[in-house]
Amino acid sequence: MIQRIQTVFFALVVIFQLIFAFGTLAYFMQSNDSDAYSLYKVVNGKGEVLRSQILGGIVNGLSILLSAIIIFMYKNRPLQVKLGQLNLLLLAAVITIVFLDLDKYAKTFGENVEPSYTLLMVLPILSLIANYLGIRFVKKDEALVRAADRLR
């Protein structure tokens, strides 16, 4: 299980999404204060929670859980592929939810405040790529097993 390359890719998805879940994704700089946007809340410079959001966190948590489950489904490769494809949809949903929510929050400031994105915003895209590569290698394993079965 651990020696398979797709396990590494799915583990990377879990790691990337965990880091994404607990990091600051963007800052909104104002003249006298700055707000820090994370997946679960928006905090001002004084540490006060301005707003809580839960939808992105729930979808991200489901993606993390599904990625962990996929790692241990190594004996059932067709199901592993289907769950990986579902995880692709969840990861795309996380990206969409975060950017729509960031845009909605930015509009509360008017035209003069733009978000300053952190490097963590790249992690869901890297997770999408790692998940896709994991699915690809699972399919490759399945094709190899079927070819070996044909030879017997």
pLDDT tens string for the chain (152 positions)? 566 899 999 999 999 999 999 998 998 887 777 888 888 888 887 777 778 888 999 999 999 999 999 999 888 989 999 999 999 999 999 999 999 988 888 888 777 777 888 999 999 999 999 999 999 999 998 888 888 777 66
In order of their start, the domains of the chain are 5-143 (1.20.140)
Please tell me the predicted confidence (pLDDT) of residue 32.
Answer: 76
Please tell me the predicted confidence (pLDDT) of residue 113.
Answer: 76
Q: Say how far apart CA 143 and CA 14 lie, in whole Å.
A: 26
Please tell me the predicted confidence (pLDDT) of residue 49.
Answer: 79
Among positive and negative, which fits the CA dihedral 34, 91, 67, 40?
Answer: positive
Please tell me the predicted confidence (pLDDT) of residue 91.
Answer: 96
**Residue 31 is inside which H or E element, if any?**
none
Find residue 37's DSSP bridge partners: 26, 42
Please tell me the predicted confidence (pLDDT) of residue 1.
Answer: 56
Q: Which structure tokens are listed for 11?
A: 């583990």
